[in-house]
Structure 1
Amino acid sequence: MNNSESSIILDPQKIAYWTIILFGMMAMLIYGKALIIPIVLGVFLAVILSSTRQAVKLIPVIGKYLNDALVSVITLLVLVAIVLILSQALSSQVEEFTEFQPLYEERFNHLVAMLGNKVHFDVTTFGASSQFAGLLGWFGESISLVLSNVLLTFMFTMFLMAEQKMIPQKLASLAGTEEKAKNVQVVWQDIANSIQTYLSLKSIISALTAVATFAVLELMGVHFAAMWGILVFFINFIPNLGSILGVALPALQALLQFEQFTPVLIIVGLLTVVQFVIGNLIEPAYLGTKLNLSPFIVLVSLTFWGAIWGLVGMFLAVPLMVLVSLICRRISGLEWISTLLSIDGKR
């Protein structure tokens, strides 16, 4: 075998072309996040509410008498009520949390100093205080970004739901022949059903985890239990790491609040039971044993989206990967992307 047969030929023009596209997309994601995040969240809400609209039609006795327009109105009213309640609760809790931030920083520094003395380590070289303040700042910025775009997200969701029935027809019209158009509609319906099933079931499971977390924290007298319940709903979309954060973050706040290990250990134990039962018993029964996603790619995705979009990006990272995998799995020529994202090379 000669060198020409074994070498890889790279086209500098194509490399430059795709490099420009990549940097352009990166700039758009970073500087346009105030607009892009509400659009992405709007798409997710529209998919979930489509399932809600179908569920309303299945209500015994009255469901069969409801037409599409009335069902859509009911669904939108439910959306408005949920968004307003959660936004108000989260906003007030975050505002109160900000008032406690200096106290928590002081207690955190004291705790780190005590641990440093026991292990004979100079904590000032570690910069624990600045790192803790930076984490709180990143945390608060992410939540503020979502709260400041609630209305825009709702508008995108509403218009997407209004045009939902027209999307298959638009895609089919681009196919050309009638046979291709029918195939496009079948593929689209398959993709839409898979996405809808995943997001709907994952949302229900995450809501169950959030309610259980809120109940535990409220029972133990932990401050901002409602805030943690809402945040656990979102971070539960992150596999493995989400379960750890769902226990560790409330436990850290409880430690700073009580300054005693006994109640913290009880909280950790109860929250671990919640995460274990829901994550290992309930969720696999409805979503399968596990997502067939490469842990390495999941970690890269979490790091990337978390760096550019904060906590919201970490929430969206894995669902976006799932959606990309589901879509590419059913489009000829893009199956390799689904294989690349998988853990075992199977689509």
Structure 2
Amino acid sequence: MSVAQGDRLQSVVHGAVLALIVGWVLYVGKQVFVPMVFGVLVAYVIIGLARALTALPLVGRWLPAPLRYLLSILGIGVVVAAGVSLVVNNFGRVVQLAPTYQDTLLQRIQQGAEFFGLRAAPTWTALREDFLAQVRLQDLIGSTVVSVTGVGMTVLIVLLYVTFLLLEKRVFPAKLRSLSDDPRDVSRIHQVLDSINSRTGQYLSVKTLVNVLLGVVSWAMMAPFGLEFAGFWAVLIAVLNYVPYIGSFLGVLFPVAWAIVQFGDPGTVITLLLLLASAQFVIGNFLDPYLMGNSLNLSPFVILASLLTWGGLWGIPGAFLAVPITAVLAIVLSEFPGTRPIAVLMSRNGRLDGRRGGPRGRAPAGPPA
């Protein structure tokens, strides 16, 4: 083995060991990293909304920055509060309507048992006894309380991160200029952060717009059928669409499964299935790529692999964060000669568009960055 081959093999081994160590740290420290990344993304949304307010006719350009940020935060708070209220109200309605759908659900189960040739169709008594034998209600209630408490603590930590990131925004460019005495190094850092800010901000804004549109269209398809909780299903479809591929499938599966319980009519269920699937197909394959353009520049395989990787490391939050994190990683890898081939392989078309496109010598938009 030549010296060059030995050095190359040593570099590969070092890289693999480093990747394993980083993966282990991310997995062990997910309670710290997940709220931090969510805080950065929420700060991106707030900053984007604050900038969008300057485009308001007549008053936009005269609104002071603190007022624009305050309005953006209040707007996001109203949306989140409305979503929480919708979930709570629908949960209460599910409890109230459960006895109504009990007979329908039992009928579907019995039909399924007959279809698969089971000898005895189950009854509610048998199902209840089997459920209680498999699940301890005390453990189920306890785990639910722990989960709700954990979500509440995570939201609080995210809010703290967002607050301090917004406070850091004003002084962040000055900190960057102090990192190096060489203007070229500072310019390169500015360029990388500009690219991250631009691509991440564009992805979040366009994806949010597309998801809201998908939710509205899905609601318009479900409401005429009289599907219960159509508003809740529409919100769930919009949120799940942040998760590539799998989110679209689940966004169709959940309301259709409820339609089976509520209606039981194969024609109605199939029609609703086709309508929701067509909305996902048209928006996901035509409108989304048209609006998104090449902002992420990630291949579909890389997106799927990142979804599985970050989902394995961080669970459900990792599935939502997979695409933005991978896009940032690709941008950083494209800036170093040793890792640039990896960025090329991660790209959609083999071209690192925008790697040198950022303006030089100018401070980026500030954190999040």
- TM class, shorter-chain normalised? 0.7 to 0.9
Aligned partner of 1:40 in structure 2 is 37
- Larger deviation, residues 86-95 vs 4-13: 4-13
Q: RMSD value over aligned CA atoms?
A: 3.9
Q: Secondary structure of the residue that 1:149 maps to in structure 2?
A: helix
Task: Name the CA distance, whole Å, in 2 between partners of 1:122 and 1:333.
Answer: 65
Q: Secondary structure of the residue that 1:262 maps to in structure 2?
A: helix
Q: Secondary structure of the residue that 1:174 maps to in structure 2?
A: coil
After superposition, residues 293-308 of structure 1 pair within 5 angstroms as 293-308=298-313
Q: Spell out structure 1 runs of 4+ moving beyond 6 A.
A: 2-8, 98-110, 140-143
Aligned partner of 2:58 in structure 1 is 61
Aligned partner of 2:256 in structure 1 is 251
Of 190, 193, 199, 2:198 maps to 193
Say whether residues 1:152 and 2:157 are aligned partners: yes
Task: Name the CA distance, whole Å, in 2 between partners of 1:97 and 1:175.
Answer: 59
CA deviations on 1:137-194 (whole Å, 9 max, x unpaired) are 9xx8998454553333233223322322433332332233233223322332232112
Contact 1:214/1:229 (8 A) holds in 2: yes
Say whether residues 1:223 and 2:228 are aligned partners: yes
Say whether residues 1:49 and 2:46 are aligned partners: yes
Q: Select the structure with the greater relative contact order (CA < 8 A; seq sep ≥ 6).
A: 2
Give the count of matched residue pairs: 331
Q: Secondary structure of the residue that 2:29 maps to in structure 1?
A: helix
Q: Secondary structure of the residue that 1:255 maps to in structure 2?
A: helix
After superposition, residues 178-217 of structure 1 pair within 5 angstroms as 178-217=183-222
Contact 2:299/2:346 (8 A) holds in 1: yes
Q: Which runs of 5+ in 1 are unaligned?
A: 124-128
Task: Name the CA distance, whole Å, in 2 between partners of 1:148 and 1:94.
Answer: 21
Task: Name the CA distance, whole Å, in 2 between partners of 1:315 and 1:49.
Answer: 18
- Aligned-pair CA distance for 1:292: 4.3
Aligned partner of 1:126 in structure 2 is none
Q: Secondary structure of the residue that 2:287 maps to in structure 1?
A: helix
Aligned partner of 1:28 in structure 2 is 29
- Aligned-pair CA distance for 1:52: 0.8
Which amino acid counterpart does residue 237 of structure 2 have in structure 1?
V
- Larger deviation, residues 18-27 vs 179-188: 18-27
Say whether residues 1:84 and 2:76 are aligned partners: no
Contact 2:46/2:69 (8 A) holds in 1: no
CA deviations on 1:266-309 (whole Å, 9 max, x unpaired) are 21122123223322332222112796434444333323433454
Task: Name the CA distance, whole Å, in 1 between partners of 2:335 and 2:237.
Answer: 32
Contact 1:42/1:154 (8 A) holds in 2: yes
Task: Name the CA distance, whole Å, in 1 between partners of 2:292 and 2:41.
Answer: 18
Structure 1 pair 149–212 and aligned structure 2 pair: CA distance change class (3 A)? farther
CA deviations on 1:110-144 (whole Å, 9 max, x unpaired) are 64664464355899xxxxx99xx9xxx9xx89984
Q: TM-score of the superposition, structure 1-length normalised?
A: 0.78
Contact 1:232/1:246 (8 A) holds in 2: yes
Contact 1:235/1:314 (8 A) holds in 2: no
CA deviations on 1:53-110 (whole Å, 9 max, x unpaired) are 1110111110111121221121122122122222222244346557778998997786
Task: Name the CA distance, whole Å, in 1 between partners of 2:91 and 2:164.
Answer: 30
- Larger deviation, residues 335-344 vs 252-261: 335-344
Q: TM-score of the superposition, structure 2-length normalised?
A: 0.74
Say whether residues 1:118 and 2:97 are aligned partners: no
Task: Name the CA distance, whole Å, in 2 between partners of 1:209 and 1:255.
Answer: 22
Q: Which runs of 5+ in 2 are unaligned?
A: 121-129, 353-369
CA deviations on 1:21-64 (whole Å, 9 max, x unpaired) are 543332222xx2xx433222221111122111111011111011
Task: Name the CA distance, whole Å, in 2 between partners of 1:297 and 1:226.
Answer: 33
Aligned partner of 2:168 in structure 1 is 163
Structure 1 pair 303–182 and aligned structure 2 pair: CA distance change class (3 A)? closer
Seq. identity, %: 26
Say whether residues 1:70 and 2:71 are aligned partners: no
Task: Name the CA distance, whole Å, in 2 between partners of 1:12 and 1:194.
Answer: 30
Task: Name the CA distance, whole Å, in 2 between partners of 1:259 and 1:336.
Answer: 54
Is the radius of gyration larger for structure 1 or structure 2?
A: 2
Aligned partner of 1:93 in structure 2 is 90
Contact 2:203/2:296 (8 A) holds in 1: no
CA deviations on 1:294-340 (whole Å, 9 max, x unpaired) are 44443333234334544332222223222322343345544334223
